[in-house]
Amino acid sequence: MLIKLKTDGNNLAIIQICVLTCGYTDEEVEEVYEQIEEILDTVKSNDNFIILGDWIVVVGEGQEGHAVGKYGLGVRNRRGQRLN
């Protein structure tokens, strides 16, 4: 789901997602990621955006870049690596 809000400054886009569980094939999950990319293409470069939802991943311990905070748990799985 994508919601776009007009504001006085830069507009705000909020994207709510739920990625398929591990019972789905990699091809089906890849299709969902492609749909997310298509939605992101509709967001203007000067808009602020928030992506929230359930990515069904294990991001693991330790901070890496801006996508994963320093308070993750466990060992990063393959889908967690894809998210980063």
How many whole angstroms separate alpha carbon 15 and alpha carbon 39? 8
Please report the pLDDT score of residue 6 as a whole number. Answer: 92
Residue 8 gets the label, from left (phi > 0), alpha (psi -120 to 50) or beta, of alpha
Give residue 13's pLDDT band: very low, low, confident or very high (50, 70, 90): very high
Whether residue 53 contacts residue 18, with contact meaning beta carbons closer than 8 Å, is answered with yes
* Residues 6 or more apart whose Cβ sits within 8 Å of residue 67: 83, 84
For strands 48-54 and 2-5, give the pairing: unpaired
- Convert the pLDDT of each residue in 41-77 to its tens digit: 988 888 998 989 887 777 777 777 766 677 777 787 7
* Residues 6 or more apart whose Cβ sits within 8 Å of residue 78: none
